[in-house]
């Protein structure tokens, strides 16, 4: 399928913000359970923690302090902490949505870790001291601000609550972009992280150049939408309800338009789609700012990991990977079209040159593992998350005393 058709699919989804559906939809209410509801329903202890950033945002972070079968339902002093950060259009719910045997949050809690799951600004779990979400200024951010403000405040909150000096970091896609932006702008936070595990890191995404060129330069989607008073990308509730009840929950794969569109962007892996979880995934589709789209577009168009300053065609201030003084693990999917293997290897080579690369590896040599599989694959528990426990233990043993 041509790049134009791919773009049209995305345009149609975003354009539903201005459509008016009047037909009532009977949506499964449990699909809309919050992250804390999901965690509690699964039998795990859960806590909410408010994170205040320097520039006025208030972020709700979710903690799983103990495993489901733990004798103690609260965190024990000195327990090793792991922070997980989500990708674009995601939230903390992405790491508990697949259930106790598959989701990373539960698996790490059952392995004895103190699990903290972040929420960046823009998600349903965020607000601002003075700005309502209807204000365009609320949405004036990209992963640059996640790295400059959100992650530092989140890390400080964890260390303050636990009394620990360091935390293990796991970033998925945008969670990795934010991490490396942070180590450039806030290098003092290197000393607060044991090691960084980066899954499908959103650093180099040049293969998406044609897509972003069409969206940002040909049709100028962000400018068009801002002119209509639409400050952010979102999946409107009326359209989401229709997708959940009809289009995206058909039984036959050949009739599943949502699956086909998603795999155009993420990579083909139809046998790993769990249709029972699809409604929950759609219900958790989070809004994103136009600057986030523009920033990733700039990464794709220039091929350089830099700030958004200076327009789309010229690199801004380069985020210096040499400032990362944290051991890094990179995990990529062999069939990831958004953050392909070659781009992860490029990142690994640059980090290896600085001495900070601990390991670069595919997901269990799974040939079809794509970008979405990191969170939502049927077998994500066995092929990624359970083996990741051993990796985390090894990283703590190697680097926690440094």
What share of the chain in percent tops pLDDT 70?
A: 88
Residue corresponding to tokens 């990741």: 388
Residue 251 predicted with pLDDT over 70: no
Mean pLDDT over residues 168-189, rounded? Answer: 99
The position carrying tokens 């986030």 is 292
359 bridge partner residues: 329
Residues 54/141, Cβ–Cβ less than 8 Å = no
Share of the chain above pLDDT 90, in %: 75
Least-confidence region, from 72-81, 316-325, 386-395 = 72-81
Give every CB contact of residue 24 below 8 A, 6+ residues apart in sequence. none
Q: What is the pLDDT of residue 11?
A: 45
Q: Which residues are catalytic?
A: 173, 336, 371
> What's the confidence (pLDDT) of residue 78?
74
Query: What is the C-alpha separation between 347 and 360, in angstroms, rounded?
Result: 10
Orientation of helix 174-185 relative to helix 151-162, angle to 10°: 90
CA Rg, the chain, in Å?
20
pTM comes to 0.92
Is residue 86 a contact partner of residue 118, using CB atoms and an 8 Å limit? yes
* Confidence label for 20 from pLDDT (cuts 50, 70 and 90): very low
Q: What is the pLDDT of residues 311-335, one digit of tens each?
A: 999 999 999 999 999 999 999 999 9
Please list, in sequence order, all residues whose beta carbon lies within 8 angstroms of the beta carbon of residue 281, skipping any fewer than 6 positions away.
Answer: 97, 376
Provide the pLDDT confidence category of residue 224 given band limits of 50, 70 and 90.
very high
Is residue 113's pLDDT more than 50? yes
Residue 103 clears pLDDT 50, i.e. is over it = yes
Q: How confident is the model at residue 71 (pLDDT cuts 50, 70, 90)?
A: low
- Between CA 26 and CA 290 the distance in angstroms is 31
Weakest mean pLDDT among 78-92, 144-158, 251-265, 307-321: 251-265
If one compares 240 and 64, the residue with the highest pLDDT of the two is 64
pLDDT exceeds cutoff 80 at 8: no
Whole-number pLDDT of residue 267: 82
| Distance of alpha carbon 50 from alpha carbon 60, whole angstroms | 5
**Structural domain spans, the chain:** 3-399
Residue 360's beta-bridge partner residues? 330
378 token code pair:
């049927």
Does the domain formed by 3-399 have CATH 3.40.50.2000?
A: no
295 vs 247, more confident: 295
What per-residue confidence (pLDDT) applies to 254? 56
The two tokens of residue 172 are 């998925």
């Amino acid at each position: 399928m041509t790049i134009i058709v791919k773009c049209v699919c995305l345009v149609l989804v975003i354009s539903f913000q201005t459509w008016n559906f009047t037909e009532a939809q009977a949506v499964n209410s449990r699909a809309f359970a919050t992250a804390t509801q999901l965690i509690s329903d699964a039998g795990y202890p859960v806590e909410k923690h408010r994170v205040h950033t320097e520039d006025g945002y208030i972020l709700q972070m979710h903690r799983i302090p103990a495993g489901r079968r733990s004798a103690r339902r609260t965190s024990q002093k000195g327990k090793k902490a792991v922070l997980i950060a989500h990708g674009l259009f995601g939230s903390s719910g992405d790491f508990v949505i697949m259930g106790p045997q598959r989701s990373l949050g539960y698996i790490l809690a059952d392995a004895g870790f103190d699990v903290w799951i972040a929420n960046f600004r823009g998600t349903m779990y965020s607000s601002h001291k003075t700005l309502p979400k209807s204000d365009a200024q609320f949405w004036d951010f990209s992963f640059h601000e996640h790295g400059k403000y959100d992650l530092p405040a989140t890390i400080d909150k964890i260390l303050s609550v636990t009394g620990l000096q360091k935390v293990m970091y796991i970033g998925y896609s945008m969670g990795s972009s934010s991490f490396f932006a942070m180590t450039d702008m806030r290098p003092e936070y290197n000393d607060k992280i044991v090691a960084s595990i980066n899954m499908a890191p959103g650093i180099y995404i040049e293969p998406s150049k044609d897509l972003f060129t069409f969206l940002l330069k040909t049709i100028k989607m962000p400018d068009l939408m801002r002119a209509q008073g639409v400050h952010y990308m979102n999946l409107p509730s009326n359209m989401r309800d229709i997708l959940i009840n009809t289009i995206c929950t058909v039984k036959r794969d050949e009739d599943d338009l949502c699956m086909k569109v998603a795999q155009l962007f993420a990579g083909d892996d139809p046998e790993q789609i769990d249709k029972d979880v699809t409604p929950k995934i759609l219900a958790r589709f989070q809004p994103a700012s136009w600057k986030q789209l523009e920033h990733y577009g700039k990464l794709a168009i220039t091929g350089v990991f830099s700030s958004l300053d200076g327009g789309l065609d010229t690199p801004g201030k380069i985020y210096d990977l040499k400032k990362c003084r944290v051991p890094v693990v990179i995990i990529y999917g062999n069939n990831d079209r958004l953050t392909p293997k070659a781009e992860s290897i490029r990142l690994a080579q640059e980090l290896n040159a600085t001495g900070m690369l601990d390991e670069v590896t595919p997901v269990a040599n799974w040939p079809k593992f794509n970008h979405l599989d990191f969170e939502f694959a049927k077998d994500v528990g066995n092929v990624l998350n359970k083996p990741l426990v051993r990796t985390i233990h090894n990283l703590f043993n190697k680097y926690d005393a440094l």
